[in-house]
Amino acid sequence: MSIDPPGYELPLRLFLGFRVLIDELHAELARQGHPHARPMHGFVMQAIGTEGTTAVELGRALGVSKQAAGKTIETLERLGYVERARDSRDTRRKIVRLTPSGVDMLVRSARIFDDLRARWAAVIGDERLRELEADLRKVTPQEVFRLDVPGWFGA
Amino acid sequence: MSIDPPGYELPLRLFLGFRVLIDELHAELARQGHPHARPMHGFVMQAIGTEGTTAVELGRALGVSKQAAGKTIETLERLGYVERARDSRDTRRKIVRLTPSGVDMLVRSARIFDDLRARWAAVIGDERLRELEADLRKVTPQEVFRLDVPGWFGA
DNA sequence: TAAGATAGACAACGTCGTTGTCGGTAATAG
DNA sequence: CTATTACCGACAACGACGTTGTCTATCTTA
């Protein structure tokens, strides 16, 4: 019978695991020509998708206010990852779409995440990693996007 | 041979797991008389420890600037979780110490985290949870900030 | 057609982080 | 013993990300 660790270690390790992956992703993204990508950009652009979206829709998808979504879109636009165009059928709306640079960043992120996952598998084993993922799925919500995170994403 | 999930799911699940635990911790802390406790306060106060510390030391321990540490200390002071006193041997320094209310918050947090961990164990199993923690320890940096303060934080 | 709902812009503010600067105190080199 | 250096804490300005609230323009609907 092994002794259970104190309960506070679990959130700490989950957070550290997240941080390790995110930090390594962005170090590699910077090497691959995306030095200005910030941790939340990938998540937001994933939520934008290939179809495009609007600030209000994006805010709802991410669980934040439309104003917050609008500011993030502004930042992504300045970085050249998205572009906005008026909707001809509803001139109130502005459709946000990924640029080729934005798509490139997402494609590279996906590849880098796959590589990082493989590195974890090499350390703890294929089967254990699949179990870890399966267990986490059981204790986390299915709706995956929820990003009202202040400073935890770090630099 | 099962198919591996895409690599981006791993950081997402780690983050969601973290968020679930932290959100439930603070919902319960609010019920137990600490409605103003914010997610990082516990981590910061844990880094302060029983001995007390200074803004510069705290910043180094947490990996942030001394100014950021100072602002967090200010917030914790306003909430009554820490108090500051001049160091008589070095009048430049101000020692930050936990108040009884701060200790109470940490003790309750520890109990709540233990309960939440037990709920996870009930869902995925004792053994699988221990394996999950062991695996995470292998892929995350050890000894991030002092966890060698078992007296007041442990059960 | 009048009334209501919705999209997006703008302002003000709160939190948490960063640099840079500055005065006061401690430690140390000459 | 003094002059320089190193350090501590405070303050200001800013950036990233979030919040409410308000406003105008536009679509929808009763």
Confidence category of residue B146, pLDDT binned at 50, 70, 90: very low
A22 CB neighbours in chain B (<8 A) are 11
The alpha carbon of residue A55 and the mean position of all alpha carbons in its chain are separated, in whole angstroms, by 17
Task: Say yes or no for a CB contact (<8 Å) between A6 and B115.
Answer: no
Inter-chain contact A14–B10, Cβ cutoff 8 Å? no
A40: which nucleotide lies closest, measuring CA to C1'? D17
Instruction: Tell me the average pLDDT of chain A.
Output: 88
Element of type H or E holding A118: helix A100-124
Which residues, other chains included, contact A65 with Cβ-Cβ below 8 Å and sequence gap of 6+? A59
* The pLDDT of residue A155: 36
Distance between the alpha carbon (CA) of A91 and the C1' atom of C4, Å: 18
Q: In the prediction, which pLDDT does B82 show?
A: 95
**What residue is closest to C18 (Cα–C1')?**
B65
* Packing angle, helices B9-31 and B100-124, rounded to 10: 130
The nucleotide closest to B64 (CA, C1' atoms): C17
| Whole-number Å distance between alpha carbons of B148 and B91 | 28
Residue A153 has pLDDT above 70, yes or no: no
Name the CA dihedral angle for A52, A54, A55, A59, rounded to a multiple of 10 degrees.
Answer: -70
Digit-coded pLDDT (tens) for B46-81: 899 889 999 999 999 988 999 999 999 999 999 999
Q: How far is CA B151 from the centre of its chain?
A: 15
A93-150 confidence digits (pLDDT tens) = 999 999 999 999 999 999 999 999 999 999 999 999 999 999 999 999 876 655 544 4
Measured distance CA(A105)–CA(A109) in Å, rounded: 6
Q: What is the pTM of this model?
A: 0.86
- Chain D bases closer than 7 angstroms to a protein Cβ: 7-13, 16-21, 25-28
Calpha distance A126→B2 (Å, rounded): 10
Question: Looking at residue B154, what is its pLDDT?
Answer: 22
Choose among B129, B146, B116: nearest CA to B44.
B146
| Residue B37 confidence (pLDDT) above 80 | yes
What pLDDT, on the 0 to 100 scale, is given for residue A84?
A: 93
Residues A60-70 have pLDDT tens digits of 998 899 999 99
Which of A16, A46, A140 lies closest to B140 in CB terms?
A16
